Structure formats: structure tokens, C-alpha cells
Amino acid sequence: MAIVELRFSAQPEHVRTARLVAAAVARRAGVDEAVLDEVRLAVGEACSRAVGLHRSNDVTTPIRVVLTEEEKTFSIEVGDEVPGAGVAAADAAGVPGARAAAPAEEFDDADGEDEMGLAVIRGLVDDVEVSAGEDGGTIRMSWPVSSADVLS
């Protein structure tokens, strides 16, 4: 098992960096090229959500992204430090598409982006876990890696 860990201040401009790093590590781990776009998008959604949570709750600690390469899977864990935030997220994640089914008039620029982000993650990634704790929430996503040997 090998890991790459990234910590960044809750600033929107760093989300792109997290996407690039995640895609690079996923590629190296042997995640299928066709799936890399999904990895990029999913990690971006998870990080955008965490940045939003930290900023709206005045949490100054960094967002944590852990990329783990295992024998058969590649997983990404995005952790925020907003207590209890994941509870609502877990509820929202349980009903993917609920937001998408709502009429357009109910959307607004800022409202509902959180749920829409989770809906996108749910739609993209088969293996997702959203959890919440006293210390914050975590979104854990994983993808299979190809069985072919990866050149090191």
C-alpha cells in the first residue's frame, strides 16, 4: 500500500491542484485512462464541497486529501473538519438525483450546490462512502485498478 497525502487551505484556487495531483496519482496507480476524467471530477466535487464547508463555518484548518494505492483498488479520501457536516451529506447522498429532479426554478447560484456536488459524485462513482463525526466529515471513493502490472 502506498499513499500520497495532500493538505491545502480552504481556498477555491487550490481545488484544481488537488484534481491534478489526484489524476496523476490515479494514473500511476493503474486506474483506467477512460476513468481518469471521473476521478478528476469526483475529487474536485469533494474538495469544492469541503472548501465551501470550511469557509462557511469559518474553519481555518486545511482540507485533507489522502490518495491510497492498494493492490486492486485506488481510493481517495477527502476530509473536512466541520463537525456533523457529513450527516446532512449522508442523507443527501442517499437520494442521488433528488436535486436533479427538482425544477430549475428551485436552483439558485449558491443554493444546493452542495447536494448537486454529491449527486455528481454518486452518479460518477460506484463505491462511495460519506461519513460524519465529531471532528468532521469524510467522503471516501474508490476505483478498481487494472490487473496489468504497473511500471514503477
Partner 1 sequence: MDLSLSTRNVSGAGGDRTVVEVGGEIDVYTAPKLREQLVELVNDGSYHLVVDMEGVDFLDSTGLGVLVGGLKRVRAHEGSLRLVCNQERILKIFRITGLTKVFPIHTSVDEAVNAVD
Out of 2, 3, 70, 123, point to the residue binding partner 1 (CB under 8 A).
123
Strand order in the sheet with 73-79: 2-8, 63-69, 73-79, 136-144, 127-133
Residue placing its CB nearer to partner 1 in the complex, 48 or 75: 48
Interface with partner 1, residue 117, by CB under 8 A = yes
Q: Nearest distance from residue 149's CB to partner 1, in Å?
A: 28
CA distance 36 to 124: 11
Residue 126 near partner 1 by CB under 8 A: no
CA 15 to CA 21: how far, in whole Å?
10
Binding to partner 1 in span 14-43, by CB under 8 A: 15-16, 19, 37, 40-41
CB of 39 to partner 1, least distance (A): 12
Give 38 or 77: the residue with its C-beta nearer to partner 1: 38
Separation of alpha carbons 89 and 130, rounded Å? 7
Angle, helices 33-56 vs 113-124, to 10°: value is: 160
Q: Is residue 120 close enough to count as binding partner 1 by CB under 8 A?
A: yes
- Give the count of alpha carbons within 13 A of 58, CB side only: 0
Which lies closer to partner 1 via its Cβ, residue 126 or residue 149?
Answer: 126
- Collapsing DSSP states into helix, strand and coil, what is residue 59? coil
Task: State the residues that interact with partner 1 by CB under 8 A.
Answer: 12-13, 15-16, 19, 37, 40-41, 44-45, 47-48, 51-52, 97, 99-101, 104-105, 107-110, 112-113, 116-117, 119-120, 123-124
